[in-house]
Each structure stands twice: as C-alpha cells, then as structure tokens.
C-alpha cells in the first residue's frame, strides 16, 4: 500500500477512548506482532498513538507527518527523515542519539522517548505494514471507525459528504419541528 500523501484523520465524536488503537499500535511495533507474545516481551512494546482526554471527548493523537516537519530539520544525525517525497516521517533507530530536540519542536507533542530511554519513537503510519499492503494498525483496530486512513483528497471528500449529510439532517429536523 502506498502511504505517499496519506494520513490518519480522527472523527473525534466517534472515539470511545477504548484505547484499542494504542494496543494495536504497540503490538504492530512489537517483535512478535502477536498480542499474547507482545505482552511478555522485554522491553514492552511501545505504542505510537496516545488517546488524550479533552473535556467530554477523547482524541487519539499521533504524528501528523508535517509537510515541513520541524523534527526533520532539527535532527542532528538525520535519523528523522522521509524515505520518499510525500512519504511518512520516519525515525531510523540506529542513527537516533536520543537528544530529544525533536520532542521539543514537535507541535503536537507526539514524539516520545523509548522505554529504554535511548531513542525517540513516533508514529510511522505502520510503514512496514504498508509495504505488506495493510492499513495502519490503529485504523484497523478502531471498533467505531473513528480513525480513517487515506489521501488528503479522499479524507476531505469524506468530510464534505458527512457535512452535507449533517446539514440535510439538521434541515429536515427543523422542517419537522415547524410542521
């Protein structure tokens, strides 16, 4: 699956804060790729998406793979890079020195220190899964489909369609009240 110009969009009103996305992400980035085995691994597999409480809502947050990514610019070892133009922002663990500059400049606060404290970790849009033709684990695991994966154009089209449906529904309700 091509991940160029693609991303994850969140429909916040659908998120139940079940954290299925966090678990699926950790398992996808584990050595075994199997939940039961991943739970026994040392160090524990680390998730790259975090469900954050925000008032009455829960928001799954992960790297937005910024077009002009400040984490790429600030990385002194070029560990943070894109393998292809318009591809996801990746961290090459072997080059990362854990300086935390990327953590400081990330406007979304989604880059974290690894559990062993040696390197940084962040969402990679499940780059390895994508090469195998799969969508990101968090998107696949979401029971309410609050997470969607697609191109910016596709995601915007879905949003417009939903907005149009909401407007029609609202108009119909107002019409029914007047009758």
Find the CATH number of the domain harbouring 74: 3.30.70.20
- Which pair of structure tokens corresponds to residue 25? 């992400």
In a domain? residue 94? yes
In a domain? residue 16? no
pLDDT at 176 over 90: no
In a domain? residue 72? yes
Residue 51 to residues 19, 23, 113, 130, 166: CA-CA distances in angstroms?
6, 11, 17, 22, 26
- Give the single-character DSSP code of 129: H
Per-residue pLDDT reduced to its tens digit, 114-154 = 999 999 999 999 999 999 999 999 999 999 999 999 887 88
In the prediction, which pLDDT does 155 show?
A: 77
In the prediction, which pLDDT does 1 show?
A: 73
Tally the domains of the chain.
1
In a domain? residue 162? no
pLDDT at 21 over 80: yes
In a domain? residue 148? no
In a domain? residue 83? yes
Domain residues for the domain of 95 are 65-106
In a domain? residue 163? no
The predicted model gives 104-115 an average pLDDT of 97
Q: Where are the beta strands (DSSP E) in 27-172?
A: 50-54, 57-61, 80-82, 89-91, 112-113, 120-121, 147-151
In a domain? residue 76? yes
């Amino acid at each position: 699956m091509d991940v160029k110009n693609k991303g994850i969009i969140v429909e916040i009103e659908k998120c139940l804060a079940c954290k299925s996305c966090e678990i699926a992400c950790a398992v996808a980035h584990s050595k075994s790729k199997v939940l039961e085995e991943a739970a026994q691994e040392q160090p524990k597999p680390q998730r790259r998406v975090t469900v954050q409480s925000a008032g009455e809502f829960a928001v799954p947050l992960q790297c937005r793979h910024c077009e002009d990514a400040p984490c790429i610019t600030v990385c002194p070892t070029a560990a943070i890079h894109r393998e292809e133009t318009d591809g996801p922002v990746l961290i090459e663990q072997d080059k990362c020195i854990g300086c935390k500059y990327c953590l400081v400049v990330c406007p979304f606060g989604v880059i974290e220190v690894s559990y062993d404290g040696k390197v940084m970790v962040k969402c990679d849009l499940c780059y390895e899964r994508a090469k195998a033709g799969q969508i990101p684990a968090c998107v696949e695991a979401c029971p309410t489909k609050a997470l969607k994966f697609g191109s910016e154009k596709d995601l915007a089209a879905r949003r417009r369609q939903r907005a149009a449906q909401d407007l029609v529904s609202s108009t119909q309700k107002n019409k029914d009240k007047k009758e």
